[in-house]
Amino acid sequence: MPTALADRPAAPSEQPTAGSADGPPAPAAAAEQATRACANCAAPLTDGQDWCLQCGAGAPDSLRTRSPTWRSAAVLGGALAVLVAGAAGAAYAALSKDDGKPRTATATVAQATTPAAAATTPVQPPSGAPAPTVTGKIGTPTTIKPLAGLGAIKAPKIPSAVPTPKGAIVAPSLQHLGGVVTPTVKIPAVKIRKSAKQAPVPAGEAHPEALLLDTNAASTYNPYAYAATNFGDPSLAIDGDASTGWTALVEPANAPKLAEGLVIDLNTARRLSGLTLVTTTPGMTVQVYGANGATLPSSITDPAWVALSSSLTEGKKRTRIKFGGSTATAQQNAKKPYRFVVLWISQAPASAVGTPEAPGRVSVNELELFARK
């Protein structure tokens, strides 16, 4: 049976679109479809598709297809300038803070962690010796007992004194004490003035102390105005040194007679018991007088002088002369206080006379006074 001819199916392009009648699509819709094709490969793009799935090109009006403007370039340039200025300012501030002190670079070094297996590996003792006993935990101090086969370890012996190398010069003020050198500071001895040795005192009698005299307490007593060059320095008779002394020239025309002496000014009246005479010219004839008052009597014959001893000749280099005599008057006079005491020399010993060409001298090396108790 012959097939009835029917109308052919419409082509896809001829099929009516939604919202339209049987006629062709509207021109606006066709333009929209044409603008949604890829600009690079002409592949169709759906609504909202910004990238071509065939070539990867951007769709029209996408970010990739938009050309940069001068405003975006200006924004990027300004941000870059701000960053550069901030970096420069920070660098200048860091350099200006440098005060010349050395900087210490601190580096962190990673510590190697010992494997647990290596930390717990026991130490093998020598052959034949028992294994040491280890107590404690990992990470804590461990006490290891000494091996019996190795013997005890002795501490080194410290010498009690530091040995002195040969040829070394050791200061005499250093002492080696227990290995430590301790300097010994020596204080220089202060020379204290002391009087010459006193004459022996009879048994049972108290030994008095010599008076401390001023350095200018002694002077030459020269009432008959002999030349001043005839006499030595009187202060040497009270300086505590028996090797020095006051001297007086023996006039050859009057030898062996003398008429001068050595006087002591105590500045205040004192009660005296006696004196000690030290001389290198023993055998002089001497006598001791005492006087009070504000001034020294002008002559030995002045009644202001009171005899404290009798005239005597002593042949010893050291003599103790005790004040007071055998009479009651002399004893009473000796008990009174006196400011001036003079050792009057009336005659020189024969050994000190000399010759007219080389006159001799007498000497008083030390003169000490003792207070009465």
Residue where the block lists tokens 């320095």: 233
Mean pLDDT of 275-301: 94
Better pLDDT: 324 or 148: 324
Better pLDDT: 323 or 129: 323
Q: What is the pLDDT at residue 66?
A: 54
| CATH code of domain 218-371 | 2.60.120.260
Residue ranges covered by each domain of the chain: 23-65, 218-371
* b/e 133-156 (16+ beta carbons within 10 angstroms → b): eeeeeeeeeeeeeeeeeeeeeeee
Mean per-residue pLDDT of the chain? 74
Side chain identity, residue 313: T
Q: Is 333:307 a contact under the CB 8 Å cutoff? A: yes
Whether 291 has a pLDDT exceeding 80, the answer reads yes
Q: How far is CA 247 from CA 65, 256, 274, 279, 362, in A?
A: 136, 15, 22, 10, 6
- pTM higher than 0.75, yes or no? no
Q: Cα separation of 50 and 64, whole Å?
A: 9
Please, which pLDDT band fits residue 69 given cuts at 50, 70 and 90? low
Q: How far is CA 290 from CA 233, 238, 296, in A?
A: 22, 18, 10
Please, which pLDDT band fits residue 131 given cuts at 50, 70 and 90? low
What's the chain's length in residues?
A: 373
Q: Cα separation of 292 and 302, whole Å?
A: 12
Q: Cα separation of 152 and 134, whole Å?
A: 17
Share of the chain above pLDDT 90, in %: 38
pLDDT in tens, 332-346: 888 999 999 999 999
Q: What is the pLDDT at residue 164?
A: 55
Q: What is the pLDDT at residue 155?
A: 54
